Structure formats: C-alpha cells, structure tokens
Structure 1
C-alpha cells in the first residue's frame, strides 16, 4: 500500500511538462485561457517574460506628469463605475496620490474589468496623459498592487507580464501572473536543468538558469535583474549561433554544381559597361566566383547602401550561371521592386541576348501561362518576380541560381519553396538594410557575407536633412522649384499594414 502511494505521489509530481491546468492557482478556466495564448505547460509559463518593470526610477507623482507623455503612476482607488455619455457607455475609475487626482477610462471590451477594483486598492497605471476636466488616461494598462508591493515605499521591483483581455478576464494581469509564476518556480526548482556546466557558468560569469528565471520574474534589485536578463539573452544568442552553424555545415555538405568558367555572357556584359567597378565590387565578385567554383552551393549575402552597385554585381554573377546553360530567378518582396529589378537587369542582359521575363501577381492569365511554358522549356534564361515565383505551376528546366532581394522580408518556407525548384541552386541575397558587421554575422551566421563599402566614382552625395514642422513652407517651396525644373519629388509615408503591392 505504501509503495502504491509513493508511486501516485511520483506520478502527480509537478515538473516543467506538467499541464498548466494542474498548477496551483490556475485550474481549467485560467488554463484554457493560457492555452489559447500559447502557454500549455509550466515550462512555457516560466518563459513568459515580463515586458516592463515598475520601480522607483520610472514612477511619477501626478503633479510631475506632463500632457502627452507616457507615465507610470501609483495611487489609491477612490471611486469606480459605469458611466453614460450620450449613446456611449464607458467604465471610469478615479485614483489619487499625495499630489493630485487622475481619472482612467475604458470604452471597449470592458466586461472583464468591472469587477476588478475595490475602493482603497493600491494600483499602478500606465498610459498617455490627456486633459479633459482634469488629468485622465484612456485605456491604461494597470496593475493592482498587493500589500507591501508599492515600489515607491518598499523599493521593490514589480514585473509586468504581457496579457490580453481574455487573460485579464480570468485574473491573469500583473498580480495574477506574479502569483502563479512564483508558485511554479518554487515547485520546479529541482527540475530546471542547466544547459551549461558549472565550470562554464563560472568562466562566462553567468547565473544558473533557475537563478536567471527567478531574477526576471522576481528580482531583488536592479543588478540582480540585469544579470538575469543577460543570462537569458546569452542563451538566445548561443542557440541561435548553434543553429546557424549547423545550417551552414549542412549547406557545405550539400553537393551542387561547379560554375567554373566566366563564360561569354559575363565577358560581354563586362565589356559593355560604360563605368568602372569599384575595388569593393571587384572583391565581392571574386568572393562569388570562388563560391561558384566549389562543389557545395553558394550561400552568400551582399550588403551595401542604396547606390553602392549591388545590382551590377548580381547581374554579372547571374551571367556566369546562364553561360553554363542554367536559369536564374530573382525574387523581390514587392511588385514595385520586382519591376525596378526587371528594368535594371533588362538594361544589361538584353544587349547580350539573355532572355529576361517579369512574373508578378497582376499579370493576365495568358501572359503568365506563356511565361510558365518558357520557364519550363528553358527559353527564359532569367526571370524577375515576387512571391508569384514560388507558385506550384512555376517550373524551371534548370534553375541554377536564385537571387533574393531583402531576404528578411520573406519567410523561411518561402525562400525554401524557391530553392526546391532547382537542384541545390546557388543562393545570393542582397540587402541595403544597414546592419552592423557583428550583428550581421549573428543573424546571418549560416551565410557568407560580402560588404560593398564604397560608392561608385562621380556619384553625387546624398544630403539628408531634418526639418522642423515650423519650416515646412521652405521645403514645399524647394519642391515646387525642383518640379518646375523638371525634377521629381517623392513624399513617403510609413505603411500601416503589409502590402504585396507597395
């Protein structure tokens, strides 16, 4: 009988893989909300990191705040309830500190909030200050504080975890998350195994994994928090680099084809140039030729500012592959960029009789069908396109190289779909995104990197100016003058949602 009891105790012992429903303080209702959010077990809960912290350094008194600024304010709830304004109902909560009063208002999705507050509760609110019959914050984030949690009076650092309306509806906002995560840390303290040896941790000056998790969820002081965050960031970079190294090794073990000779097309394009390549462009071309001469397929990123001459390098690289009888595909993230690349490649390729085509989403069906047929037969030697290139009905006779512009705009599966249309094709990626060299090696660790770090000679310098709103009239006058002279002006706005057109 004793053995059976021991077996049962062992069976129900809480560990990192324990279903989140069975953690004390969770239960079915909260568990279902957490699972919909993506937290299935205790291990995943412990890796639900705070997105900000409350401490003495980032909290303001009401009288210290300014209109339009975002601030964290701690006070006592003085009143709350539903209000009516014309045809609209809203929830209003008022709080005060020793310096003044503040009103908080919620208009939408307020069903979860009406039972949250009690008069006299200590509460921290975060949001942008407005003024309407007094200071107010519309739809603030908030955190109800327990006794002894006030950072101003205790010096305590309070984590604030990401939440949603569905989680808040079951009591999983700041305070709720702190409680269940604290319980989880106590229960699985012996179950958190470190990836690294004790000797390695000491050499690198790292906290243990358990200490780091405790530090981000319940830090004793700022220094403890910084070291805990450093350990978790170290893990992310370490495993990212490990993954990149494995991917690079797998790429090097692949057997591709050798494109050893420069070929007629590259020589003809090179002779037709009415400008000289920079030393930087020549060095990058040497890198590419060396890659193409190897049995393993090329996997190289070219980084360079706009106007540095990445396109002509890509054209010459493509010409080498086409000279060997293979096809090249250039994939751009938007139709506008694809059309620009098509015009650029056509300029260099058409005079030497390389057949170039454009494939984008808004072409007519008959036009697309003809392109599909010519790609399959090999008549089209180089195609420029968008995501349209990875459709199932796009087939190549012999895809030897793919060139991807701004590859971070594509998903891994999208790039793989294009690669799979050839037999271990050479991969060349282009980017104008200014990435510091060390960061580039971090996020593109599976690729070889070449940098074009000088502009072509006689290139007019780009002048960048920041203009205050009060001086915009001068900008408009300058634009009118340039347009009257036959020049063009572009006004660029940030895009709100992703678009395949723009």
Structure 2
C-alpha cells in the first residue's frame, strides 16, 4: 500500500512543490492519500462511508477491549464483556428452524474449556471461510447464557497472526506478532468488522492520522478547509469552559488511542473524551433545530384566535370528560395555532387514548377562524373510521364533513372536490387522493396526518402546499425512529 501522504501537486509552474513534499493536511483530504492507505484500501474505506480524513477520525470505536484483564473460558460469567485468546476447533452452520436462514457456529477453546460463538448473519461474505482448525484467534464479546450454557453472540473474532495479504505493508506476519505483543497490556479500541480491513489496520491508520494532525496543529498550520481560521476546534472556548469540556483534538486522540491509565470509563464510554464528542453531536443537532425553528418563525401562517366556543360545545356533547393529558395537548395546540408561523407538532398516544378527539377539537379552532381542516390517513378503512367519528362529533356542531378516497366514483369525487374548492366542506378525511392535483381547497388552515410513518416527505408536503403555509399536526401511536426523525428533520 502507498506510503504517500497526499496526491502530488499538479502545478507545473515555478512555485510547484518539490516531489515528495506534501501540501498541508486538510480534513477534506481524500482518505486514499493518507499514509498507509492507497487506492485499494481507500476504496474499502469509501464503501464504509469513509471518504476523507475527517470521516476517518470520526469513525469512533464501538467498544473497548481491556487486555490487561484477559480471561479464560473457564472463568467466564454471563453478561461480561471479555477478551480472550483461543484456538478454533471447528466452524459449522445449520438452518434456523424450518426456514432457510442459517446460524453460523464457531467453536473455540483455550485449554480451560470451549465456547460456541454464534452468528445469525455473516458479517461479510467469506467471514467464516477464513477460520481454520487450530488457528489462533482473539475473541472479544459479551458472554450470554442459553439453556444453561454460556456462549457468545456475534463476537469480534480477530486473527492473531493474519496472512500478509490482509495486513499493512510487507512482513505482515512478523508485524502482527510484534503488534500483538505491544498491545498485550493495553486498552484496545474495537471497530466494526469489515471485509478487507482488520481492527489492527484501522488502529494503525488512526495512529498515523492523529499523529499527522498533531504535528500540523503544533506547527500552527490550518487543517480545516471549511472555516476561515482552519481551526480543528469548532466549539467556542466559553462554551467549553462552561461545560468543562476537553478540547476536540484531545477527545479524538484519546478515544482512538486510549491513555495508559484508561479504565472502566472507557469500556462504559463515559470518559471526559467521550463526553466531549457526545456533547458536540447534541450541540450541532440543537443548533440545527434552533435554526430550523427560526426559519419557521419567518414563514407566515394564519394566526388563529383562541376561540373556544365550539370546543366548549364539544365538551358538553360528550358522554365523558377529556383526560388531563388531552386537555394539556389541546391547550398546547391552541397556543401554537395562535402564532403567525406554521405549527409543527406531534401528538403521540396509545391506541384508544383519544388522539383523534384532540385533533377534531383543534379543527374547531380552525373552523371558528374561517379555515378548513384536512386529515390524511394511509388506508381507506381507517379513512372510513375517521369519517364516521368526524360526522358523529363535528356535524352536530354545524361543520360539514367530507370524505375523499381513491375508490369513490368519479361523480362523487368531483362533487367533493367542488365543495372543497368553494369552502362548503369544513373538515375532510382522505387517503392519498387528497394530494392529487385536481384537489383544491378554498382556505386550508390545518393539516392533520394520522400514522405519519406510512407517508414520505414528498407526499406530506404535497398536502401541505394545498394551503398557504397551513398548521401541521401529526398523530401516531407508534413513534418509530423514522417518525421521530421526520418530526425533527421535516
């Protein structure tokens, strides 16, 4: 692999750098030009999403292995995260029940006992083919208990003496033996297993990269191409002092190259260095959300007066009382609707908790302010259910409720479209039919989405554009990660 730090200068003028003298290191330097990488390993890294020096430095360990506390198989207990040397006894696979999916089983021994390392999927193609009987390996993982026996599930199994073809540079076998000895009494970072890239290779690349950045910072040279100062540190000093944060370079260096006194705070990822990176990630997320909120504040939307005459009539018509949670949710919605910029609110609650009634009550505020409301649902069955509820609770209060689905006859759809266009319908329930180009509203002020995770951002925005920046309310009983992410990022 290449020992070249950077691509040679393409300049041919009199100021061109001499061959072998690299230009200044930058965080956006392509990873293949880092010393010890080269095109082949660079391509492997790019497939993992690591394209630049910055990407490499931010590829953090998923765990740590304390080799000062190496264990034997006989001493293992469930729920322990351990590291041990062992020899491969055999590798096998068998079907998972009646399905065609396989369970892979690598059995290892260290003389004090044997243990099964089970995998429910292959980390990458050819992962298990690399193991041979009596091969010496290192196993790092969490001990599990299954039917009274201990085992590993998806541990990291690393070759202690890998072939030269899978290591950095020439003389790989000898280098591996030296490296194994050098790491025998240290806290070792563990990275996700990757085909064609061993943990030892990755640790070495981190060491090379961090050392290069250290030298450049010590010489006062800029490393960041995306800032005027070229500074590596991104968080202002006053914030670091206020929250007692270590510097960014110290954090990255020690996360990848743990100090000699590293202890349990590293295996638990709670060290000051981890805390700094965690703070930084949340800091940028909060800054993004604040920026987004500021952008929404500049976007105009109808400011609804907090008129509650119809809501009071709804309360009086119900054979039960709103719960405290329903009152709180509706109160917050009414406050948001009174602002002159779009509401973006998520209402989460279990099935039967009364989310729909809260949404219907919100539509009454829109009605009293002269605006229409629309609720979009993923299926026609759910649309029919919502339609029946809306008719039951809203029509007695003087609202006209409409239904729009794909299975409706053309004449029915045309009639509903005309009523939406002239404002005769106050509240409409629909499926994807609501986002068709032929559907127009006279004055859409509130958009409600039920079970948002069934819709994409584009579909959602199509409905939103049918109003002049209408207010936006999402209901879900299952706030899956995608739902929450869409609530955050839009």
Paired position in structure 2 for 1:183: 208
Matched with 1:217 is 256
Q: Which residue of 2 aligns with 1:159?
A: 189
CA contact (8 A) 1:16 1:188 kept: no
Bigger shift: 137-146 or 224-233?
A: 137-146
**CA offsets, 1:396-436, max 9 Å, x none?**
3332111234657766555444323321111234456799x
2:100 is the alignment partner of 1:100 = no
Q: How many aligned residue pairs are there?
A: 432
More displaced, 335-344 or 240-249?
A: 335-344
Residues in 2 aligned to 1:241 and 1:377: alpha-carbon distance in whole angstroms = 42
Gaps of 5+ in 2: 1-11, 96-101, 161-175, 218-222, 225-231
C-alpha RMSD of matched pairs (Å) = 4.8
Give the distance between the partners of 1:39 and 1:219, measured in 2 at CA: 22
Preserved CA contact (<8 Å) 1:42 1:184: yes
Deviation at 1:318, TM superposition (A): 0.3
Superposed counterparts of 1:323-402, under 5 Å: 323-332=368-377, 340-358=385-403, 363=407, 366=410, 369-370=413-414, 375-376=420-421, 378-385=423-430, 389-390=434-435, 394-402=439-447
Deviation at 1:195? 1.1
1:41 matched residue in structure 2: 52
What is the DSSP-based 3-state SS (H/G/I as helix, E as strand, rest coil) of the residue aligned with 1:188? helix
User: Shift of residue 335 of structure 1?
Assistant: 6.6
What does residue range 21-170 of structure 1 map to in structure 2 within 5 Å? Answer: 21-55=32-66, 61-65=72-76, 72-77=82-87, 95-102=108-115, 110-111=125-126, 114-115=129-130, 121-126=136-141, 140-145=155-160, 147=177, 154-163=184-193, 167-168=194-195, 170=196
Among candidates 282, 297, 301, match of residue 252 of structure 1: 297
CA distance in structure 1 between the partners assigned to 2:277 and 2:33 by the alignment: 26
The verdict on how the C-alpha distance between 1:77 and 1:44 changes in structure 2, with shifts beyond 3 A counting, is same
- What is the CA deviation profile of residues 216-240 of structure 1, one whole-angstrom value per residue up to 9, with x for unaligned ones? 2222213465222211110111111
| Residue pair 2:68, 2:185 contacting (<8 A) in 1 also | no
User: Residues 68-110 of structure 1: CA distance to partner in whole angstroms, max 9, x if unpaired?
Assistant: x79655223356789999xxx9998664324123465889665
Structure 1 pair 424–244 and aligned structure 2 pair: CA distance change class (3 A): same
The runs of 5 or more residues in structure 1 that have no matched partner are: 436-440, 448-502
Contact 1:349 1:356 survives alignment (8 Å):
yes
Q: TM-score under structure 1 normalisation?
A: 0.68
Residue pairs, 1:383-422, within 5 angstroms: 383-385=428-430, 389-390=434-435, 394-405=439-450, 415-422=460-467
User: CA–CA distance in 2 between the matches of 1:342 and 1:413?
Assistant: 24
Structure 1 297/138 Cα, relative in aligned 2: closer, same or farther at 3 Å? closer
> Which residue of 2 is the match for residue 273 of structure 1?
318
CA 1:290–1:446 in structure 2 vs 1: closer, same or farther (change >3 Å)? Answer: farther
Q: Structure 1's 73 and 292: CA in aligned 2 closer, same or farther, altered over 3 A?
A: closer
Check the 8 A contact 2:444/2:467 in 1, yes or no: yes
Find the aligned partners of 1:63 and 1:216 in 2 and give their Cα distance.
Answer: 31
Q: Is the 8 A contact 1:94 1:101 kept in 2?
A: yes
Task: Give the distance between the partners of 1:387 and 1:188, measured in 2 at CA.
Answer: 53
Task: Map 1:182-331 to 2 at 5 A.
Answer: 182-189=207-214, 190=217, 191=223, 193-220=232-259, 221-222=262-263, 223=265, 226-260=271-305, 262=307, 266=311, 268-278=313-323, 281-282=326-327, 284-302=329-347, 309-331=354-376
Q: 1:111 to 1:431 in 2, by over 3 A?
A: closer
- Of structures 1 and 2, the one scoring higher in RCO (CA 8 A, sep 6+) is 1
C-alpha distance in 2, partners of 1:91/1:272?
62
